[in-house]
Amino acid sequence: MTTDYLLHKEVEHVLAALMPQNRLIIRVILRTGMRISDVLELRTDQIKRTGWYTERKTGKRRRYGLDELLIAEILEQAGPVWAFPGRRSGTHKTRQAVWHDVKRAAAAFRLSANVGTHSFRKAYAVGLMERYGDIERVRRNLNHGNTAITAIYAMSDILLQRKLEAKERRRKA
């Protein structure tokens, strides 16, 4: 099942309810559009203003950028090897651990959306579309091979609005 797009206020609610390290991880996704597995595999020595990584899912190279505040917060909690260390020594945090916390946070606010870590990548795409108005630019930024997939991400806010309007029409009927 695919994850849903979250409205800005819903993103803020979920962020507020997350454990601190998980909140930081999600903020990296919101800033960079990276997938959760790629964020978790960042090494401490990769945490800088800009850099390159290879996407785990696609094998494609992708550039990322972090702001100074985010860098400082990541380095403050980073381990000697992994930017987001896990419970066991020498490992990074698992995506399942972050996913469970995101689900818990969404449930705390009784969000009806299917919220997952990928919901924040969709929020990133919507932000890019609002900023640039160029689907091709969003596609390149997300490293998608297909513009149709990018359109689903970048127009998630419009699709959600239509879904909510249809639900309201059915309720009134």
Residue-level pLDDT at 7? 76
Tally of CB atoms within 10 A around 40: 24
pLDDT recorded at residue 170 = 83
Residues 6+ apart with CB under 8 A from 140: none
Identify the pLDDT of residue 53: 95
Judged against a pLDDT cut of 70, whether residue 1 lies above it is answered with: no
Contact 77, 21 (CB under 8 A): yes
Neighbour-count burial for 92-113, b at 16+ CB within 10 Å, e otherwise? bbbbebbbebbbebbeeeebeb
In three-state form (DSSP H/G/I as H, E/B as E, the rest C), the secondary structure along 85-129 is ECCCCCCECCHHHHHHHHHHHHHHCCCCCCCCCHHHHHHHHHHHH
Is the separation of the CB atoms in 10 and 109 below 8 Å?
yes
Q: What is the pLDDT of residues 31-68, one digit of tens each?
A: 999 999 999 999 999 999 999 999 999 999 999 999 99
Per-residue confidence (pLDDT) for residue 56, from 0 to 100: 94
Q: What is the pLDDT of residues 84-141, one digit of tens each?
A: 999 988 899 999 999 999 999 999 999 988 899 999 999 999 899 889 989 999 999 9
- Taking residues 76-88, report their average pLDDT: 96
pTM over the 0.85 mark: yes
Q: Are 45 and 56 in contact (CB under 8 A)?
A: no
What is d(CA 3, CA 123) in angstroms, rounded to the nearest whole number?
11
25 pLDDT higher than 80: yes
Q: What is the pLDDT of residue 152?
A: 80
Q: What is the pLDDT of residues 159-172, one digit of tens each?
A: 767 776 777 788 88
